[in-house]
Amino acid sequence: MTFPAERTAIVTGAVSERGIGRATVNYLAAQGWNIGIIDLDDAACKAAAKEVAAEFGVKAHGVGANVASEAEVRAAIDELEAELPQIVALANVAGVSSPIGYLELEPAEWDRVLNINLNGVHYATRRVAESMVKNKIGRIVNISSVSAQRGGGTFSKTPYSVAKAGVIGLTRATARELGPYDITVNAISPGPIDTDIMGGTLSEERKAELTQDLVVNRVGSTRDIAAAIAFLISEDSGYISGQTLNVDGGLYMH
């Protein structure tokens, strides 16, 4: 299927200057995608959209929403759809870390992490799927984590690993159900990336320590993940669906 000339990609969790979401927005806008931004703060979303539109000459619109609220997510995507060209792609990037050990884990923390990192992906996917099914074209990319495949061993611990493993299951199931409508759904599983979700800016010492587990000579950048997202939402990736692409410097080989 051919993409429409004017197409929009929605990116959740796209306001933080150092985050994967913002790097993805910039990368996609540079490729000519119109951009929808969803993050917690409405004013920050609108400011980011204004910057993207000015820098890259594309249409962009931002809406504040907590991805853990289905009603807020649906309302945000309704607004983006009204303001922007056809939604062709969704990148579910919004997420939170959780470094609390299992034996110290409280129910509220479990719920918080699952609601944002798994339910939020479902809510956004479910809403955009309605539009993509009507148009019979779509690309959805979800961010999982190497933590899901290795059972942690990263900054975040059990609820994070569980949620990110759930994202892989959700990716496969929705790929199967949405495939007849020419919609692909894939996941990206990042390894160590230099972002704030790793517990703040990584020191050179910490980067060197993390690199010892990799088969490449550096930790990842947000651009590494943005480029992978751009590939999986491209017109040429239509024969790839239900897959988990590890962008992790060789940390997990399977």
Positions annotated as catalytic residues are: 160
Q: Which residue has the tokens 């983006």?
A: 80
Phi-psi region of 190 (alpha: psi -120 to 50; beta: other; left: phi over 0): beta
Q: Kindly state the tokens that stand for 224.
A: 């590494």
DSSP run (H or E) holding 204:
helix 204-211
Exposed/middle/buried for 101, CB within 10 Å: 0-12, 13-18, 19+? exposed
SS3 12: strand
HEC secondary structure over 137-178: CEEEEEECCHHHHHCCCCCCCHHHHHHHHHHHHHHHHHHHHH
Residues in the chain: 254
Which residue type is seen at 141? Answer: V
Cα→Cα distances 44→8, 38, 40, 65, 151, Å: 20, 10, 8, 11, 34
CA nearest 123: which of 111, 114, 110, 136?
114
